[in-house]
Amino acid sequence: MSARGFTLLEVLVATAIMATAVVALLGNLSTSLTNASRLADYDRAVLVARRTMDDLLLQPNLPKFTVIEGAYDAGLTGLRGGWQARVTPFERPPGAAAGTPALERIELEIWWESGGRRRTLALEAFRQTVLRPEDLALEAMAR
């Protein structure tokens, strides 16, 4: 008479192999979820940074050579953090006087807390402006 079925040893080996595969899959799933969460934070940060940069670009009289700061409302943005920006002259014709068109650079850095660590994102934009006498005086003092 021949016995049908699996031996106890075969069942234990199959269970061990299956357990190893399940643990590996769950580890990969956890890593994937962590990466997806981190990427969602960066996507949110990029959107908030672009909105902040757009707001800065629309303000014609931002102080030059001065750090401007602000904080984000976590309820509105989904980020617990803030930003700082600085406006500096970028390019202008040699010997430019008041009323001359020029380019200025706006450097923006935003920061937020994620996973117990501080994350940052930097943006830079340029805009055309017309030189004012007070801009030339500030530039001379900054040199």
Domain ranges of the chain: 8-142
CA distances from residue 45 to 67, 90, 127, 140 in whole angstroms, order as listed: 20, 26, 22, 36
Cβ distance 79 to 44 under 8 Å?
A: yes
Q: What is the pLDDT of residues 21-37, one digit of tens each?
A: 999 999 888 888 888 88
Instruction: State if pTM tops 0.95.
Output: no
**Residue 27 has what pLDDT?**
87
- 56's tokens: 């800065």
Average pLDDT over residues 35-51: 89
CA distances from residue 39 to 3, 26, 116, 129 in whole angstroms, order as listed: 56, 20, 16, 36
**Residue 142 has what pLDDT?**
66
Q: Mean pLDDT across the chain, nearest whole number?
A: 88
The answer for residues whose C-beta is within 8 angstroms of residue 130's C-beta and 6 or more apart is: 99, 100, 101, 102
Chain centroid to CA 30: how far? 23
pLDDT at 84 over 80: yes
Cβ distance 113 to 81 under 8 Å?
A: yes
**Residue 97 has what pLDDT?**
84
What are the contacts of 112-118 at 24+ separation with CB within 8 A? 112/41, 112/45, 112/72, 112/79, 112/80, 112/81, 113/80, 113/81, 114/38, 114/41, 115/38
**Residue 58 has what pLDDT?**
95
Identify the bridge partners of residue 124 per DSSP, sorted by sequence position. 107
